[in-house]
């Protein structure tokens, strides 16, 4: 892929990270760690991979995106705003009474949100249903879902993993945001799902393992996914919780804690943004 395209995607992801920090700082609550870790993946999906039309959010041929780990809603909101589904200014209403941008995404209130998520473990099942519907309707859209590595401790994930293979959902691509931390501590200590890649392979998925912050590896994995027939694709993306903000990186305490004004300013400075933008 052309280096200028990769640079543009890196710039989009950086802007999304700035938006995430700003909206969480304004809200005073929310989940920065897992939002920042998934920013590169979501940037590639929305600005390079998926067919979407902000002017026609219900376009039948659009690709579908499900943020299964719904607490990372800020990364989805940042992408939707940058894509033009609503104005960037609305991001500052995050978690406020009456806002369309609640702590977990709602498909009833916000264009571009395909599924209301937040109850962990359900997103892959929903994505399966969308992928099956696409095949039944003979449409060529694709379905993308982002899972958390703590989330895959849920049993429903593995039921959905079996179903996706049974129904040969080669129009489905899942990303595992493999940052190693969840609200209660390291995933390996709370309830280790390892060996993650081997388990998905054992369930019959095609599995790719990548650096989830490397734009070329993300785009290459998605290009490869389009060539896989007869089975779904799992991309195990190794990421850093809180990526891009030094004092948040790999710190479990930033799973669900918003930065104060001073921390917001510091984070934005590291990301090349300004607090008063």
pLDDT of residue 1: 72
Instruction: Please compute the mean of the pLDDT values over residues 200-218 and round it to a whole number.
Output: 98
Percent of the residues in the chain that have a pLDDT greater than 90, as a whole number = 97
d(CA 168, CA 63): 18
What is the tens place of the pLDDT at every residue in 258-270?
Answer: 999 999 999 999 9
**pLDDT at residue 55 tops 60:** yes
**pLDDT at residue 60 tops 90:** yes
Instruction: Please compute the mean of the pLDDT values over residues 123-128 and round it to a whole number.
Output: 98
Q: Give the closest residue to 40 by CA, choosing from 217, 214, 254, 221.
A: 214
Q: Where are the domains of the chain?
A: 3-270
The two beta strands, 185-186 and 64-67, are unpaired
Residue 105, both tokens: 């995404």
d(CA 258, CA 264): 9
pTM above 0.95, yes or no: yes
Local confidence band at 275 (pLDDT 50, 70, 90 cut-offs): low
Task: State whether the Cα torsion 57-8-43-31 is positive or negative.
Answer: negative
For domain 3-270, the CATH architecture is 3-Layer(aba) Sandwich (3.40)
Local confidence band at 2 (pLDDT 50, 70, 90 cut-offs): confident
pLDDT of residue 273: 76
**pLDDT at residue 178 tops 80:** yes
Bridge partners for 186 per DSSP? 181
d(CA 67, CA 115): 8
Task: State whether the Cα torsion 27-30-33-38 is positive or negative.
Answer: negative
Local confidence band at 59 (pLDDT 50, 70, 90 cut-offs): very high
Local confidence band at 117 (pLDDT 50, 70, 90 cut-offs): very high
């Amino acid at each position: 892929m052309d280096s200028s395209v990769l640079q543009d995607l890196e710039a989009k992801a950086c802007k999304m990270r700035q938006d995430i920090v700003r909206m969480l700082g304004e809200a005073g609550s929310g989940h920065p760690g897992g939002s920042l870790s998934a920013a590169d993946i979501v940037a590639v999906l929305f600005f390079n991979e998926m067919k979407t039309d902000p002017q026609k959010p219900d376009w039948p041929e659009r690709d579908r995106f499900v943020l299964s780990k719904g607490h990372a809603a800020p990364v989805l909101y940042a992408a939707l705003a940058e894509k033009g589904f609503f104005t960037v200014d609305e991001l500052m209403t995050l978690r406020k009474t009456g806002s369309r941008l609640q702590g977990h995404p709602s498909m009833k209130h916000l264009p571009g949100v395909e599924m209301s998520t937040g109850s962990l473990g359900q997103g892959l099942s929903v994505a399966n249903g969308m992928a099956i519907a696409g095949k039944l309707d003979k449409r060529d859209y694709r379905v993308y879902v982002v899972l958390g590595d703590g989330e895959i401790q849920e049993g429903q994930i593995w039921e959905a993993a079996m179903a996706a293979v049974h129904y040969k959902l080669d129009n489905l691509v899942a990303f595992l945001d493999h940052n190693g931390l969840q609200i209660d501590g390291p995933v390996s200590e709370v309830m280790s799902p390892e060996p993650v890649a081997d388990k998905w392979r054992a369930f019959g998925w095609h599995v790719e393992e990548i650096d989830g912050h490397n734009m070329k590896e993300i785009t290459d994995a998605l290009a490869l996914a389009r060539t896989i027939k007869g089975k779904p694709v799992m991309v195990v993306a190794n990421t850093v919780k809180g990526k891009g903000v030094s004092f948040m990186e790999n710190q479990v305490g930033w799973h669900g804690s918003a930065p104060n004004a001073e921390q917001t300013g510091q984070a934005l400075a590291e990301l090349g943004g300004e607090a008063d933008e």
